[in-house]
Structure 1
Amino acid sequence: MEGANAKAHTLRSRILETEAQLKRLKEELAQVEVSGKAHTGHDSSAKENPVAQGTGQKWPLSAEEYKRYGRQMIVPSIGILGQLRLKSSSVLIIGAGGLGCPAAAYIAGAGVGKIGLVDGDTVEVSNLHRQILHSTCTVGMRKVDSAICFLKSINPNATYVAHPWHISPENAQEIVGGYDLVLDCTDNPASRYLISDACVLLSKILISASALRTDGQLIVLNSPPLPPGNVAGGPCYRCVFPKPPPAESVLTCGEGGILGPVVGVMGVLQAVETIEIIVQGKITPPDSTQIVASPTNMVLYSALGTPPFRSVRLRPRRPDCFACSPDATLRLESLKGGSLDYALFCGLMPAVNILRPDERIEARDYAQIQKNGDMHLLVDVREKVQFDICHIEGSINVPFSTFKGGNQESRIHKPDWLPQSLPPEAPIYLVCRLGNDSQVVARILKDAGLTSGGARWIGDIKDGLKAWKDQVDGHWPEY
């Protein structure tokens, strides 16, 4: 009996609380309607909610939507007007991976009316520790389809559009032009420059984020989205990074690793910025002549840092920016015509092909050498954290970074890792994950004169540990 009384008391409290919330919403709606009529002569809430026009519906949202978004609408900075703006807006998310998944989940849950997803990849098992819209059941499925399936379960009210291909100069205008706001959730410099250029040319605010290992960064670019040459407009990606980083210094999540919650934090922050920009009506400036340039900040996050968040003030638009300055030469025609080679600009190169065929060995052939017990040395040039995960028996670990650091000369010409007992004619084999870094190191060692005047063979295992799994040990752990 006491349990029933307690439950009844709880229910009555919840009813009173809900009624109070509904009363506040009605009062806020009345104020919005009165204000809209006073300034425009008609119902402003209906203008921001075309769906309700001509339907005879008393309220601008459906009963289900009031329930769904109620806890959000009672936030003072959002209210009914902010919710209507979310419903009438459209957001493009480029990349349905570690950043795009959490961003899309919260943007869909917030009630954005149209959400587009761009990604040409399929779901892999290695994605699942961080890409929360995908699951074991959707491995092999297109990422955009897997993501939309999950998003519909969160909020079936939105319109979802799948773009199952990668963003390119040829399709950027058509895709980006159909949305109010853009999120860059990609993981490579070429895409970031392309997306930023498209947003400048099409006057779209861009929310860009990145994450690697335990660190991340977030920038809101081209906000406000004013035409090139207007100094009150927000800086673009080229303003912040006029030159791309050296291609050899760029690591992907597959190469450098990523902690799932870190990329999740950055994706959630992208969603927060998206919602804030939309509810404040910042998507399209009302009058560019009255806009005053506001400072742009870059948010830096480090899971291991103290404090974990830092904010860096950025400069306004660069006066010599290729994309958004008064003398900008970027044009939609050059973008769509394919005359801009972003891969070339970023220094992206095809797979490493440094060694001759006779300087490389198949994994199966090396396995036979190992089985025969022939004298040799196998050097694994992956970083120690990867070497500890798995390595071929008998190999020694000399990380690739050893050959790029300040002590490079001493480590090459006087290598302390080279066993004194190894005969001068004994071959040295290099191995890495995919057969790229091993070629570089092999060439460095040969150029350093470790071939003993030509008596010693130095080369690598072609295609690295991937080939070892394919040709020698099918149970080798793939990471």
Structure 2
Amino acid sequence: MDQATKSAETLRRQIAATEEELSRLREQLAVIENEEVQNLKGLSLEEGPVTRKWPLELEEYKRYGRQMIVPNIGIQGQLRLKAASVLIVGAGGLGCPAAAYIAGAGVGTIGIVDGDVVETSNLHRQILHSTAKVGMKKVDSAISFLTSLNPNLRYIAHTEHLTPQNAREIVEKYDLVLDCTDHPTSRYLISDICVLLHKPLISASALRTDGQLIILNSPPLPAGDASGGPCYRCVFPKPPPAESVVSCGDGGILGPVVGTMGVLQALEAVKLITAGKLRAAEGEKAAEASMLLFSANSNPPFRSVRLRARRPKCFACSAEGGLTLESLSSGSLDYVLFCGVTAPVKILRPEERIEASEYEKIMEERKGKEHLLVDVREKVQFDICSIKGSINVPFSTVQGSRALAPQGEKPPWIPESLAPDAPIYFVCRLGNDSQVVARKLKESGLDKEGRYIGDIKDGLKAWKEQVDSSWPEY
């Protein structure tokens, strides 16, 4: 009886989803028919009956001709591109190249979602923005560029971040979604709303010199239908530990790497659209899913990892899943809580930390002697800029339990000439890693002779604010 109940519930969901899709298609048809009527009204009787010899405008044949003669594209593929609508979530390093090539290909409607503004640090990789647009909304900057590239398309600006509350209203207007964001919370949200609204999803990410790409929910069958493509929760049932999530600002990113992944997203979008796979065909089953991995420093740089089909007990896309539009929009699904919140690091007591301005006074009083300043950033960052007199001991070399000297012994990087009671200060970029290393050193017993061990509060960010305004910000 339980199995019959589950099957009936699955069928009800499929019927509801089909009715919703039918309603949306009727609305689109009504809009197109209204436009045709308006066009007819605008013609004078002298112009005679309306005839159209070619399905595209003559300018479009010139613009898209080179791609229309590609096998498997043709005029039918171009017409599908023109009729399609694509939503790009994120106008950054992934979204910029993806949007440029999707607009260039002639996708009829392009929506862009992003609540951020253009910053100087974006410009080495976010190719739709420019120095003159710093401070401008990223969405407005991107659409300005895209309009100059291809003015024949319809661009829709969503100048806010995607949230559980606005996700349905935004996503339901589009045929295909590209996840061009950079955090697990947004990736789970985007995947969930795509499952609920039956939209295929192309997701990518990039960090340092590596990237990955996945096509999800394709074909976009209702939850409970095992023939549908896996969702993000199928691939990653649990989010990574919050402390392991590294942003581009902390870990770095090479522009061509994120550009490569964005271009691949555009390529997969064009392939899905021109092949007519934005909606599931009757009886269609998902092709074997895979994840494309890219590493700029590997040879070959690309490799593919096979993925499983939809997980039988997936929270989002299985028959047993508890995901609904109501639970998502009501806020009962806390994506930040699900992915974990990285609280500010508070390892040292207030008396074990000093302000940057206070350390500057110590430098002046001691003239750089009788104390040690240890910069725990990685060497590549230390080489960019460093405080005079500091030494570099990268955080990665002192993370392990045995990275420091045995209990009570002095680590090799502490100069022999340093007095046993001379203070040791640690500094990093933001004042987090420095606390970790200071605590490790204290636990090893190096402060038992009265030696002060602490760190510079808020790190080199505070140094720029309190001491040296010319300090490079990277």
Please indicate the TM-score interval, normalised by the length of the shorter structure.
0.7 to 0.9
SS of residue matched to 1:76 = coil
What are the superposed Cα offsets for residues 361-403 of structure 1, whole Å, 9 maximum, x if unpaired?
1111111111112521111111111111111111111111123
Root-mean-square deviation (CA), in Å?
A: 2.0
Q: 1:103 to 1:52 in 2, by over 3 A?
A: farther
Aligned residues: 431
What is the aligned partner in structure 2 of residue 325 from structure 1? Answer: 318
* 8 Å contact from structure 1 (residues 244, 346) kept in 2: yes
What is the aligned partner in structure 2 of residue 418 from structure 1? Answer: 414
* 8 Å contact from structure 1 (residues 210, 263) kept in 2: yes
The one-letter code matched in structure 2 to 1:171 is: N
Mapped pair 1:359 → 2:352: yes
* 8 Å contact from structure 2 (residues 234, 314) kept in 1: yes
SS of residue matched to 1:283 = coil
Task: List alignment gaps of at least 5 residues for structure 2.
Answer: 1-28, 41-49
What is the aligned partner in structure 2 of residue 226 from structure 1? Answer: 221
Aligned-pair distance for 1:328? 0.5
Q: Please give the alpha-carbon distance, in whole angstroms, between the structure 2 residues aligned to 1:400 and 1:341.
A: 33
* 8 Å contact from structure 1 (residues 205, 223) kept in 2: yes
Counterparts of 1:107-126 in structure 2 under 5 Å? 107-126=102-121
Counterparts of 1:454-473 in structure 2 under 5 Å? 455-473=450-468
* 8 Å contact from structure 2 (residues 407, 445) kept in 1: no
Q: Please give the alpha-carbon distance, in whole angstroms, between the structure 1 residues aligned to 2:404 and 2:370.
A: 27
Q: 1:68 to 1:52 in 2, by over 3 A?
A: farther
What is the aligned partner in structure 2 of residue 164 from structure 1? Answer: 159
What is the aligned partner in structure 2 of residue 434 from structure 1? Answer: 430
Q: Which residue, out of 203, 207, 213, partners 2:202?
A: 207
What are the superposed Cα offsets for residues 174-195 of structure 1, whole Å, 9 maximum, x if unpaired?
1111211111111111111111
Aligned-pair distance for 1:79? 1.2
Q: Please give the alpha-carbon distance, in whole angstroms, between the structure 2 residues aligned to 1:406 and 1:250.
A: 22
Q: 1:310 to 1:411 in 2, by over 3 A?
A: farther
The one-letter code matched in structure 2 to 1:425 is: D
Mapped pair 1:302 → 2:292: no
* 8 Å contact from structure 2 (residues 195, 316) kept in 1: yes
What is the aligned partner in structure 1 of residue 378 from structure 2? Answer: 383
Q: Please give the alpha-carbon distance, in whole angstroms, between the structure 2 residues aligned to 1:431 and 1:464.
A: 5
What are the superposed Cα offsets for residues 55-101 of structure 1, whole Å, 9 maximum, x if unpaired?
53332221221211111112121111111111111111111111000
Q: Which residue, out of 281, 292, 304, partners 2:285?
A: 292
What is the aligned partner in structure 2 of residue 149 from structure 1? Answer: 144
* 8 Å contact from structure 1 (residues 424, 452) kept in 2: no
Q: Please give the alpha-carbon distance, in whole angstroms, between the structure 2 residues aligned to 1:155 and 1:298.
A: 31
Q: Which residue, out of 436, 443, 462, partners 2:439?
A: 443
SS of residue matched to 1:467 = helix
The one-letter code matched in structure 2 to 1:330 is: L
Mapped pair 1:130 → 2:121: no
* Identical aligned residues as a percent: 69
Aligned-pair distance for 1:320? 1.6
Q: Which residue, out of 231, 250, 261, partners 1:236?
A: 231
SS of residue matched to 1:408 = coil
* 8 Å contact from structure 2 (residues 221, 227) kept in 1: yes
What are the superposed Cα offsets for residues 96-143 of structure 1, whole Å, 9 maximum, x if unpaired?
111000000000111111111111111111111110000011011111
The one-letter code matched in structure 2 to 1:350 is: A
Q: 1:369 to 1:473 in 2, by over 3 A?
A: same
Q: Please give the alpha-carbon distance, in whole angstroms, between the structure 2 residues aligned to 1:234 and 1:410.
A: 52
Mapped pair 1:98 → 2:128: no
Q: 1:111 to 1:413 in 2, by over 3 A?
A: farther
Q: Please give the alpha-carbon distance, in whole angstroms, between the structure 2 residues aligned to 1:165 and 1:403.
A: 41
